[in-house]
């Protein structure tokens, strides 16, 4: 994204890619091979005016995004944290600990069962585990057998 100052009649034929209006402002933005009023180049998610919050913007799947929303939606690289492949902007994703995954890649490292919204899982050293296969589960089960839980007690387990 380039913020340019217009001198003289240099923008006589320039139209804003955002609103379609003639650009007669003193300053304009040039991004994605198009010209924009500073007020028109906005993040598709948070509506922040991109010229005011930085010198970069991101474009994916027809959306124009600020850095924060790009990372929130697509991770730092725009790639799945499990397989490393690109994630299309239109694809639903799963997130854990700041990482982004394809739905099919969001699965237990031990049994390979896909985890779906509502499933309990554990994230240990960058690896996903279902509730059944979490590391230390056998240790917890052994502890529970030797120390029965009363109905009003809660069991917590920390790795």
Per-residue pLDDT of the chain (159 residues; tens, 9 = 90+): 655 555 444 445 689 999 999 998 888 899 888 999 999 999 999 999 998 887 788 888 788 988 888 877 776 667 888 998 988 777 888 888 888 899 999 999 999 999 988 888 888 888 899 988 988 755 444 444 444 433 332 222 333
- Is the residue at 118 inside a domain? yes
Q: Could you tell me if residue 63 is inside a domain? A: no
Whether residue 83 lies inside any domain: the answer is: yes
Q: Tell me if 39 is assigned to some domain.
A: no
Separation in Å, CA 5 to CA 19, 28, 32, 51: 19, 7, 18, 13
Count structural domains, the chain: 1
Q: Is the pTM of this model over 0.85?
A: no
In a domain, 40, yes or no: no
Structural domain of 102: 78-130
CATH number for the domain spanning 89: value is: 2.10.110.10
Which pairs count as long-range contacts for 26-30, CB under 8 Å and 24+ apart, including other chains? 27/3, 27/51, 28/3, 28/4, 29/1, 29/2, 29/3, 29/4, 30/1, 30/2, 30/4
Q: What angle do CA 121, 122, 126 make, to 5 degrees?
A: 125
Whether 53 maps to a domain, the answer reads no
- pLDDT given at position 62: 80
Please indicate, yes or no, if residue 46 is contained in any of the structural domains: no
């Amino acid at each position: 994204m380039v913020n340019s100052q217009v001198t003289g009649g240099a923008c006589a034929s320039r139209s804003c890619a955002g609103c379609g209006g003639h650009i007669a402002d003193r300053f304009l933005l040039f991004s994605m091979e198009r010209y924009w009023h500073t007020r028109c180049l906005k993040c598709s998610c948070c509506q922040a005016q991109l010229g005011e919050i930085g010198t970069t913007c991101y474009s994916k799947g027809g959306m124009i995004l600020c850095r924060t929303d790009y990372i929130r939606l697509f991770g730092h690289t725009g790639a799945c944290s499990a397989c490393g492949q690109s994630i299309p902007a239109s694809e639903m994703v799963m997130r854990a600990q700041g990482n982004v995954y394809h739905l099919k890649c969001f699965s237990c490292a031990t049994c390979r069962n896909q985890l779906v919204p509502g499933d309990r899982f554990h994230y240990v050293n960058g690896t996903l585990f279902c509730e059944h296969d979490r590391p230390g589960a056998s240790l917890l089960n052994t502890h529970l057998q030797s120390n029965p839980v009363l109905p009003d007690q809660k069991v917590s387990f920390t790795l």
